[in-house]
């Protein structure tokens, strides 16, 4: 997923599928979408955690992701829902058009993988969401957010994210190391370490230096306005509380008001 070795990406797909099972964001998004069937595009759909229940609720959902190991898990979870998924580089490839809702959820703005400048890539996906929507359609943005990112990210001590045996019998551990945050650039730097003992007894290790840009709420507002959106609803959690020092998310429901060039 982030230049990992294939055996590691395969392990990650299992760990994500088994551990990331929360539904608060899905239920919240469905409450915003309403009951009338919508044509929905989810960016970075992964193994279908979000888009499958949206399709089961009666919407026609299309998902894009570049991770084949994740996408391969979707087919076994569905029956006759209106759902499609495709492997795609969402930064460099064009998105389809004519959607009622575009979902940029599950921390996607923070977790973009691209060779572009990070802020440029973040602004680009918001513009591409606008291009994919019908006028009057909505973008749903949901990402972890804090007004004090230095408290979140300045943690050099190791943080084990996942540890376990995948469906192929390979044991692995993913650890985040040396996390630091620059307040001026809003860049979070850290190392992702993978340690695996394969079923045959051999070892695989990989360390990947990583950088991510933690966009401010003001930046996201600016990008939305520039792309022709008007924010109709904005919350700091799934209980509709406003964004504050005590909340940990930025959830935005913004309407496309006009076509932009």
Tell me the CA distances in angstroms from 203 to 20, 153, 196, one per residue in order: 26, 30, 6
Looking at every residue in the chain, the average pLDDT score rounds to 96
pTM of the predicted model over 0.85: yes
Contact 55, 29 (CB under 8 A): no
Q: What 3-state class would DSSP assign to 231? A: strand
pLDDT digits (tens, 9 = 90+) for 130-166: 999 999 999 999 999 999 999 999 988 999 999 999 9
Residue 260, pLDDT > 70, answer no
Q: What is the mean pLDDT of residues 223-235?
A: 98
- Which letter does DSSP use for residue 226 in this model? H
Residue 259 banded pLDDT, cuts 50, 70, 90: confident
String of DSSP letters for 154-204: ---S-EEEEEEE-TTS-EEEEEEEEEEEETTTTEEEEEEEEEEE-TTS-EE
pLDDT digits (tens, 9 = 90+) for 188-212: 999 999 999 999 999 999 999 999 9
Residue 24 banded pLDDT, cuts 50, 70, 90: very high
Paired residues of 85 in beta bridges: 63
Q: CB-side exposure of 113: number of CA atoms within 13 Å?
A: 12
Give the residue from 54, 40, 49 showing the smallest Cα distance to 18: 49
Residue 261, pLDDT > 80, answer no
- CATH C-level class of 149-212: mainly beta
202-229 as b/e: b if 16+ CB within 10 A: eebeeeeeeebbbbeeebbbebbeebbb
CATH architecture of 6-146+214-256: 3-Layer(aba) Sandwich (3.40)
Q: Which tokens hold the place of 191?
A: 């190392």
Q: How many residues does the chain have?
A: 261
pLDDT digits (tens, 9 = 90+) for 64-118: 999 999 999 999 999 999 999 999 999 999 999 999 999 999 999 999 988 889 9
43-78 as b/e: b if 16+ CB within 10 A: bbbbbbbbbbbbbbbebbbbbbbbbebbbebbeeee
Q: Which residue blocks in 64-169 are alpha helix, DSSP H? A: 68-71, 118-132, 149-153
Q: Which tokens hold the place of 56?
A: 């089961």
Task: Kindly list the domain boundaries of the chain, sorted by start residue.
Answer: 6-146+214-256, 149-212
* Structure confidence at residue 210 (pLDDT): 93
* Structure confidence at residue 115 (pLDDT): 87
* Structure confidence at residue 1 (pLDDT): 47
C-beta neighbour count of 231 within 10 angstroms: 15
């Amino acid at each position: 997923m982030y230049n990992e070795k294939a055996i590691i990406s395969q392990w990650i797909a299992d760990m994500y599928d088994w551990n990331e099972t929360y539904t608060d964001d899905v239920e919240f998004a469905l409450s915003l979408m309403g009951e009338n069937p919508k044509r929905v595009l989810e960016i970075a759909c992964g193994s279908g955690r979000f888009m499958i229940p949206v399709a089961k609720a009666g919407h026609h959902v299309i998902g894009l992701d570049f991770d084949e190991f994740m996408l391969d898990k979707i087919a076994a979870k569905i029956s006759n829902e209106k759902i499609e998924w495709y492997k795609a580089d969402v930064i460099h490839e064009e998105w389809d058009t004519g959607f009622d809702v575009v979902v940029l959820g599950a921390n996607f703005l923070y977790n973009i993988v691209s060779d572009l400048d990070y802020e440029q890539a973040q602004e680009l996906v918001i513009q591409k969401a606008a291009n994919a929507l019908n006028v009057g359609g909505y973008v749903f943005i949901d990402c972890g957010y804090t007004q004090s990112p230095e408290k979140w990210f300045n943690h050099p001590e190791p943080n084990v994210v996942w540890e376990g045996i995948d469906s192929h019998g390979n044991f692995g551990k993913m650890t985040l190391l040396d996390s630091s945050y620059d307040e001026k650039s809003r860049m979070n730097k850290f190392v992702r370490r993978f340690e695996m003992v394969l079923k045959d007894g051999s070892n695989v290790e990989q360390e990947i230096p990583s950088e991510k840009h933690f966009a401010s709420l003001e930046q996201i507002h600016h990008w939305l306005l520039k792309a022709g959106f008007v924010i109709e609803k904005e919350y700091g959690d799934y209980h509709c509380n406003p964004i504050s020092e005590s909340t940990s998310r930025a959830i935005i429901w913004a309407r496309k008001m006009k076509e932009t060039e």
